Amino acid sequence: MVQEILELQRKIVPELVEVLEKRYNVLRTIYYNQPIGRRMLASELDLGERVVRNEIDLLKSQSLIEINTPGMTVTKDGQNVLEGLKEFIYQIKGLNDIEKCIKSFLGVKDVVIVPGNVNENPEENVKDEISEVNGQTVQNEQEVNENKNTKPKNKKILTFSLVGGIAVVAIIIIACFAGKPSKSKSEEIIKDYLAAINDKSEDEFAKVIDTKGYIVYKEEGEKKFDKKYDDKKYIKNYLEDNNFEELSDAESSITTALKNKNKYSSKEYSLKEITSIKKSSKSKKIKIIKAKLKVKSSYSSSSDTANLKLYVIKVDGKYKVINAEID
């Protein structure tokens, strides 16, 4: 929901998000370098002094910073604003998804990404924030251990400099998201599948279904899917056992069955929102797309909602359906 609101804001008032990010960065930079003068702040942010002066005046008018002889410092209210905005800024930058991706890939307890470039400011903001995050993590762990009366476990903290670590992080991110359908591609395959249901069309089902994958999933499920899908003899034996001469014969049978399943339905489905896109935990080939649907009936003027779970695989660069559940 938050991501959808952000997307709408970017379309209607794109400057709002940009201004928010800029002022957050100004306040954050002051916090990690306080006390700091205006010229030094402008240099740290790589902004003109006039722009920085305007931002300082606004932050001061909101009692978020104080200006004294040694330089600017962040007030208690300013610290509360920084803490309150941190999660929102993470959402804007998409850092939450990347944290989850790296956490899952490395199998570690937790991952925290700190915005910024270590090499551009090696002694300042980024390392200070990393230290602060690490310190808070250790403190939280100690509190948990004290409550449980257990000894704290040794913890290893890994940090990557941008130049030295970016290649490693990039590889991890690519490994996490490679093959994962984008939101636009997910919307496309959902809409095509719903169109097939609504039109009750064999031809439309044939366009969105991967016959081979559909057969393997129905017969074997997720756990054995990868192995059986790549086994050439498996489909050959299936066709022989079911008296199909060609895979196209099996496709015709499947699409006819899907059409007949929805033949007498009075419901018409449309996409409301995609709720999640993730990899299957049991198959490297399968991606699972979950969505909320709007449901209209020819017998009623009101609409209802339903949940869709779509199982897809990539075939020749396109996503194809191998299973679908609507409830």
Cα torsion through 237, 239, 242, 243, rounded to 10: -120
Determine the pLDDT at residue 249: 92
* Token pair in block for residue 98: 């990347």
How far apart (Å, rounded) are the C-alpha atoms in residues 161 and 163? Answer: 6
What 3-state DSSP class applies to 224?
Answer: coil
Q: Give yes or no for residue 226 having a pLDDT over 60.
A: yes
Which pLDDT tens digit goes with each residue over 10-22?
666 667 777 888 8
CATH fold, domain 2-177, is Arc Repressor Mutant, subunit A (1.10.10)
315 in Cβ contact with 309 (< 8 Å): no
The domain limits of the chain are: 2-177, 183-326
* Token pair in block for residue 125: 């903001």
Determine the pLDDT at residue 28: 86
How far apart (Å, rounded) are the C-alpha atoms in residues 17 and 6? Answer: 8
Average pLDDT of 299-320? 87
What is the value of pTM for the model shown?
0.49
Determine the pLDDT at residue 9: 61
**Where do the H-state alpha helices sit in the chain?**
2-12, 14-33, 38-45, 49-61, 76-93, 95-106, 125-148, 162-177, 183-199, 202-208, 211-220, 225-229, 232-241, 247-261
Phi, psi (rounded to 5 degrees) for 263: -55, -45
Burial class (CB in 10 A: 0-12, 13-18, 19+), 317: exposed
Determine the pLDDT at residue 265: 83
Determine the pLDDT at residue 164: 45
Assigned superfamily of 183-326: NTF2-like; domain 1 (3.10.450.100)
Q: How many CB atoms lie within 10 A of CB 258?
A: 24
Task: State how far the alpha carbon of 90 is from the alpha carbons of 2, 82, 119, in Å.
Answer: 11, 12, 21
Among the residue ranges 11-15, 144-148, 237-241, the one predicted with the least confidence is 144-148
The more confident residue out of 317 and 123 is 317
How far apart (Å, rounded) are the C-alpha atoms in residues 245 and 258? Answer: 21
Q: How confident is the model at residue 190 (pLDDT cuts 50, 70, 90)?
A: very high
Among the residue ranges 171-175, 230-234, 270-274, the one predicted with the least confidence is 171-175
41 in Cβ contact with 30 (< 8 Å): yes
Nearest to 193 by CA among 303, 69, 318: 318
Q: Which residue has the tokens 């030094």?
A: 40
How distant is the alpha carbon of residue 166 from its chain centre? 20
What 3-state DSSP class applies to 68?
Answer: coil
25 in Cβ contact with 45 (< 8 Å): yes
Determine the pLDDT at residue 264: 81
Which pLDDT tens digit goes with each residue over 108-128?
666 666 655 555 444 445 445
The helix-helix angle for 76-93 and 14-33 (nearest 10°) equals 130
138 in Cβ contact with 157 (< 8 Å): no
